[in-house]
């Protein structure tokens, strides 16, 4: 019997052939802890009686959610994080270098076939390079830090086949939003999403990151793409048969298979206040807005900023509308500065902020108040996510968000 990608990754790691439902112990290749959870991880690590990290080179600590500090207690997280890193010899600490999920692949911490866990639900992002990555709690993280192992149940897999050429105003964000709308928020619970088809093959690694990032919004345990030449170039590794073989076998067993024709896809929005409340942008066109946010670990990469700049070039943000742009990392910021993207955005009237999570997680940089409406490129639109519980959040692609900023209302990108 053939295997899915996730079954191959786990089989290689454990040295045994696995099937969905099997409970196995894996050797962890890398872990990520961010600033919100480091105090709790440190406390549990001590409670468990550990005195050293299983491998200081495999643990990454990233300050991104709480920078710059917006509450008095934020500095406690920094202090505890610094003490933990120094005490246990952590070699990889990033202070304000960007968003954790951007940095984990950008800084080459994750490679195809790796098994990676992080203290954030959107750790599924690293499936863009063919890694099994998933979010866990701080108790599980403390255990991994001490042992280097983690038990898991092998997930079933949903195969998603996308064929054809996407319309010019449709991006991978529209694709994943459509899929979440079809699956619903619990439709892929504890399953792997495996993406394939010539549409996916033509996508950039950055576009695949957007889709893997939001897989968890359908309940998925992970999302996986077969490594190819683009992956190898991004990860700075040779593309060998080992990487190429991380693809679903023809006789692999899937829990279900979904087929999409790219030409049929259109710009969509996730409407308040659920990620699976998906509607075509054209149905909401004309709805007044107060703010636009372009950034986050979902859509803060260079190609996202470039796409927004293409819409905004030669135009101005509508009066009384705020456009906030947050690059996903310092590297992205620098690239966008060098190629003129930030200049275009700034000239249009955008407020460009320090790289980080910021507004997406309801911290610094543009919190909204009662009855305000925002179009944003991040991954969640739950009540109270970006301000008060009376804020309406619409999730969109960078192209749609930029078009809305110019129009001052929800608008279809041309």
CATH code, 399? 3.30.499.10
pLDDT tens by residue, 165-200: 999 999 999 999 999 999 999 999 999 999 999 999
Share of the chain above pLDDT 90, in %: 96
| 358 within a domain of the structure (yes/no) | yes
pLDDT tens by residue, 103-135: 999 999 999 999 999 999 999 999 999 999 999
Rg (Cα) of the chain, in Å, rounded? 21
| 413 within a domain of the structure (yes/no) | no
pLDDT at 63 over 90: yes
Residue 38 and residue 160 in one domain: yes
- Taking residues 250-260, report their average pLDDT: 98
Full DSSP string of 21-63: T-EEEEE--EEEEETTTHHHHHHHHHHTT--S-S-GGGEEEEE
Query: In this predicted structure, what is the pLDDT of residue 361?
Result: 86
CB-CB contact of 396 with 272 (8 Å): no
What b/e string do you get for 231-249 counting C-beta neighbours within 10 Å, with b at 16 or more? bbebbeeebeeebeebbbe
pLDDT at 382 over 90: yes
| 187 within a domain of the structure (yes/no) | yes
| 144 within a domain of the structure (yes/no) | yes
Residue 282 and residue 251 in one domain: no
Which of these three, 262, 286, 315, is where a domain ends?
262
Query: In this predicted structure, what is the pLDDT of residue 71?
Result: 84
Residue 158 and residue 237 in one domain: yes
Residue 147 and residue 43 in one domain: yes
Residue 250 and residue 294 in one domain: no
Residue 78 and residue 56 in one domain: yes
| 414 within a domain of the structure (yes/no) | no
Question: Which phi and psi angles does 301 have, rounded to 5°?
Answer: -85, 170
Residue 155 and residue 301 in one domain: no
Residue 355 and residue 283 in one domain: yes
Which two three-digit tokens encode residue 81?
């994080």
pLDDT at 414 over 90: no
Which of these three, 262, 290, 324, is where a domain ends?
262
Query: In this predicted structure, what is the pLDDT of residue 324?
Result: 97
- Closest C-alpha to 77, from 38, 46, 43, 44: 38
Residue 223 and residue 321 in one domain: no
Question: Which phi and psi angles does 3 have, rounded to 5°?
Answer: -125, 155
State the burial class of residue 146 (Cβ atoms within 10 Å of its Cβ: 0-12, 13-18, 19+). Answer: middle
Which of these three, 244, 262, 280, is where a domain ends?
262
Residue 149 and residue 253 in one domain: yes
What b/e string do you get for 172-186 counting C-beta neighbours within 10 Å, with b at 16 or more? bbbbbbbbbbebbbe
Residue 272 and residue 250 in one domain: no
Query: In this predicted structure, what is the pLDDT of residue 369?
Result: 94
Q: Residue 378 is part of which domain span?
A: 268-407
Residue 176 and residue 58 in one domain: yes
Question: Which phi and psi angles does 169 have, rounded to 5°?
Answer: -100, 15
pLDDT band at 365 (very low <50, low <70, confident <90, very high): confident
Number of independent structural domains in the chain: 2
| 113 within a domain of the structure (yes/no) | yes
| 412 within a domain of the structure (yes/no) | no
Share of the chain above pLDDT 70, in %: 100
Residue 50 and residue 215: Cα distance in Å, rounded?
34
pLDDT tens by residue, 293-352: 999 999 999 999 999 999 999 999 999 999 999 999 999 999 999 999 999 999 999 999
| 40 within a domain of the structure (yes/no) | yes
């Amino acid at each position: 019997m053939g295997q899915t990608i996730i079954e191959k990754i786990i089989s290689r790691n454990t040295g045994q052939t696995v099937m969905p439902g099997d409970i196995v112990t894996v050797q962890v290749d890398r872990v990520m802890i961010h600033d919100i959870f480091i105090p709790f991880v440190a406390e549990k690590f001590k409670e468990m009686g550990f005195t050293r990290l299983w491998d200081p080179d495999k643990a990454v600590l990233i300050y991104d959610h709480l920078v710059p500090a917006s509450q008095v207690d934020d500095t406690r997280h920094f202090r505890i994080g610094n003490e933990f890193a120094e005490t246990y010899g952590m070699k990889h600490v990033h202070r304000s270098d960007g968003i954790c999920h951007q940095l984990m692949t950008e800084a080459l911490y994750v490679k195809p076939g790796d098994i990676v866990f992080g203290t954030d639900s959107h750790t599924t992002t690293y499936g863009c390079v063919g890694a099994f990555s998933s979010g866990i709690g701080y108790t599980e993280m403390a255990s991994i830090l001490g042992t280097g192992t983690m038990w898991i149940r092998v997930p079933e897999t949903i195969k998603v086949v996308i064929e054809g050429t996407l319309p010019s105003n449709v991006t991978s964000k529209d694709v994943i939003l459509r899929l979440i709308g079809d699956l619903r928020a619990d439709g892929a619970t504890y399953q792997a999403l495996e993406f394939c088809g010539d549409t996916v093959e033509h996508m950039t690694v950055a576009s695949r990151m957007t889709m893997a990032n939001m897989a968890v919004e359908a309940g998925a345990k992970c999302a996986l793409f077969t490594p190819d030449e683009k992956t190898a170039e991004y990860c700075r590794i040779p593309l060998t048969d080992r990487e190429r073989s991380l693809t679903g076998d023809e006789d692999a067993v899937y829990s279900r298979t979904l087929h999409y024709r790219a030409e049929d896809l259109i710009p969509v929005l996730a409407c308040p206040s659920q990620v699976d409340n998906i509607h075509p942008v054209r149905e909401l066109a004309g709805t007044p807005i107060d703010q636009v946010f372009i950034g986050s670990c979902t859509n803060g990469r260079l190609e996202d900023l470039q796409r927004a700049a293409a819409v905004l070039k030669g135009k101005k943000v509508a009066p009384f509308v705020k456009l906030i742009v947050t690059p996903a990392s310092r590297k992205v910021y620098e690239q966008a500065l060098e190629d003129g993207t930030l200049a275009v955005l700034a000239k249009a009237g955008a407020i460009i902020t320090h790289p980080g999570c910021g507004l997406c997680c309801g911290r610094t940089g543009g919190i909204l108040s009662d009855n305000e409406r925002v179009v944003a490129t991040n991954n969640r639109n739950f009540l109270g996510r970006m301000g008060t519980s009376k804020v309406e959040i619409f999730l969109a692609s960078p192209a749609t968000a930029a078009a809305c900023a110019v129009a001052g209302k929800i608008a279809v990108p041309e």
